Structure 1
Amino acid sequence: MKWIAAHPYGFSLALLAVLLAASVAVGSVFISPTVMGALFQARLGGQPLTAALQPMDTILFTLRLPRAVLALLTGAALAGSGAAYQGLFRNPLADPYLIGVASGAGLGAVAAMSVRWPYTFWGLMVIPLAAFAGALVTVAVVLFLAKVQNSLPASNLILAGVAVSSFATALTSFWMLRSTGEVRRALVWLMGGATQSGWQPVAAVLPYIGVGLTALVLLGHSLNVMQFGDEQARQLGLRVERVRALVIAAASMTTAAAVAFAGIIGFVGLIVPHVVRLVWGGDYRRVIPLAVINGASLLLMADMLARTVIAPQEIPVGILTAMAGAPFFLWLLRRSRQQFSW
């Protein structure tokens, strides 16, 4: 434990590498480390594959590796955004869905599922794009409602987020009741069971998550200053409203992109940042990047379990994270009520 506390990045990156390798190896067909090494060597060296390795090449590079990378990016996005929101609101119970990202994405996705789209690239991409648009529209409405003159009070953001989120959830439920053929698909998506295949979703989501997480990492020092409170932060020269707007924009865009392609996966943005603070301290210059790495590890592990626990059936990842996260949330709630020390 002392070594882990002393080497946060070394431990986190090593754990991520192990889980990534395990995620692409484990499945209905096991890919051994030897075979995996041969496949990567053939790809990198441009060497022809033997007949025995060609099916393994398809499984690894067409099916499992893109899915693992998408899970990695989703976990990183949710955990990094959760850390930023917890720092912004100075509340360990905050998560990436606090201001309506999930409900807006769900409404957009369910609305898109009610239409029969052609089986083309844009036909397959319309649901995540609709989810992304719905999430951003919801956040924009929340910001509009919460704004007071030129400021964005944290309490207003939370209250507006709760109200708009409830309204969007009600619309989603109504739309699902009116739908005839896509209810099951919508339910799976809402439970975090969206499984996009291939490298196209990875390429689509990478710019948004990459830009958003980079911005949040760079805002780590400003989040440290904001822990003293808005007035004290202003006295120290921090432009509080500008920082708050930047954090909300970056975190919301990152979360929306992740939710659009992976479905609604709860508790990752709540659990991981809190564990990081418990183990490695509350400096947000360290909390956010470590949350990003360990969030990727957590979702890789959850995705691997979802594929294997009751194989050949698959459990929506959101169910597993909820089963693990709900008890943790209750423990955290009890602990924060007694005494929470940052």
Structure 2
Amino acid sequence: MKKRLLLYGGGAALLLLFSFTLSLSIGSSMIPITEVWSVLLGKGDEVSTAIVINVRLPRIILAILVGSALAVAGAGFQGVLRNPLADPYILGVSSGASFGAAFVILFGLQSALFGMYSIPIVAFLTGVLTLLLVIKIAMTSGQMKKETLILSGVVVQAFLGSFISLMVSMSGKAINEIVFWMMGSLTMRGWEYPKIMAPYLFIGIVILLSQGRALNLFTLGERQALHLGVNVERTKMVVLVTSTLLTASAVSVSGVIGFVGLVVPHLIRMVVGPDYRLIIPLSVFGGSIYVLWADTIARMALMPKEIPLGVVTSLLGAPFFAYLLKKGKKGVKL
């Protein structure tokens, strides 16, 4: 297992490094790759340094963090729910975060709360509170059945979605800001946003990595996992809460970005197999690369206009996921 992790992880790290360098080079002002590395090593000219360090680098770092968080969260949800169609938004986290963000934007509470951090903080808190509500609804005699949990998520998501639609209809001049946030974007994100998100990502990845063996045993069924020494309810709670925190942290800084947590773990599972001790760490690289290239396309495709990032990830992810489903019908194990 360790040899496979080193092999696949090394290849993924090289691909991420290549994507990172190329994305820094691409933009309205093209910068040669050699100059990019000169800037990163502190030897670039003043103009290139300003563009790379102050404009592109924080956005690219944030894209890497958001992609990692959503992909790892997707792997966690798919593992604990034993459902390959599970994604980071299945328990209503996106609706909860969107409700909080729309509320702040609609009533102009940015200055009254935390300034530029108001939307990320409120979106994060409402996303987490949504999970707690879903778990509360799903709990029966101290246990959570996956079917009840998923249905609870659907109900809460629909309920909050109706409030979001109501706020959009009431928003007037703020409608563009609300809708653009809900479509996902990394526009105008400075260094403050990666700093907000990085601690959650690091802690979340460490926790989910520690649950890799338990998630492997979950594939046998909860009863079998229990007989093999897994504390089933505790594991479910740890993975669900951690995956939700990762999702909420990503949504709070970028808005809703779909298909990352659905497609990336699927693709990795097709390559390396069903071992979550491999899927979780490789999802870090896979999600980073996916969102990094999607964001690069978003800012370059219709330049000088920018496509919302969530639109690009959906345009790329939906056809690919349809392909996966078609292959699955032919007997390929997803």
Q: TM-score, normalised by structure 1?
A: 0.92
Which residue number corresponds to residue 166 of structure 1? 158
Match runs of 1:139-288 below 5 Å: 139-288=131-280
Which residue number corresponds to residue 12 of structure 2? 12
Match runs of 1:19-58 below 5 Å: 19-42=19-42, 53-58=45-50
1 CA distance for matches of 2:5 and 2:139? 41
Which residue number corresponds to residue 104 of structure 1? 96
Which residue number corresponds to residue 296 of structure 2? 304
Give the counterpart letter for 1:29 in structure 2. S
Give the counterpart letter for 2:114 in structure 1. W
1 CA distance for matches of 2:188 and 2:266? 29
Residue 36 (structure 1) shift: 1.9
2 CA distance for matches of 1:159 and 1:146? 8
Residue 88 (structure 1) shift: 1.0
2 CA distance for matches of 1:93 and 1:302? 21
Could you tell which deviates more after superposition, 116-125 or 166-175?
116-125
Could you tell which deviates more after superposition, 224-233 or 117-126?
117-126
Does the 8 A contact of 1:67 with 1:197 survive in 2? yes
2 CA distance for matches of 1:31 and 1:121? 39
Go from structure 1 to structure 2 and tell me whether the alpha carbon gap of 1:41 and 1:110 turns closer, same or farther (over 3 Å shift).
same
1 CA distance for matches of 2:76 and 2:110? 39
Go from structure 1 to structure 2 and tell me whether the alpha carbon gap of 1:121 and 1:178 turns closer, same or farther (over 3 Å shift).
closer
- 2:41 match: secondary structure: helix
Residue 90 (structure 1) shift: 1.3
Go from structure 1 to structure 2 and tell me whether the alpha carbon gap of 1:62 and 1:36 turns closer, same or farther (over 3 Å shift).
same
Percent of pairs identical after alignment? 37
Query: Does 2:303 align with 1:329?
Result: no
Give the counterpart letter for 1:13 in structure 2. A
Given candidates 69, 72, 77, the residue that maps to 1:77 is 69
Residue 120 (structure 1) shift: 10
Which residue number corresponds to residue 46 of structure 1? none
2 CA distance for matches of 1:180 and 1:290? 43
Residue 38 (structure 1) shift: 2.3
Residue 340 (structure 1) shift: 5.5
Q: How many residues align?
A: 331
Q: TM-score, normalised by structure 2?
A: 0.94
Which residue number corresponds to residue 92 of structure 1? 84
Can you give the 5+ residue segments of structure 1 that lack an aligned partner in the other structure? 44-48
Can you give the 5+ residue segments of structure 2 that lack an aligned partner in the other structure? none
Go from structure 1 to structure 2 and tell me whether the alpha carbon gap of 1:104 and 1:196 turns closer, same or farther (over 3 Å shift).
farther
Which residue number corresponds to residue 116 of structure 1? 108
Which residue number corresponds to residue 136 of structure 1? 128
Go from structure 1 to structure 2 and tell me whether the alpha carbon gap of 1:121 and 1:312 turns closer, same or farther (over 3 Å shift).
farther
- 2:262 match: secondary structure: helix
2 CA distance for matches of 1:60 and 1:6? 31
- 1:145 match: secondary structure: helix
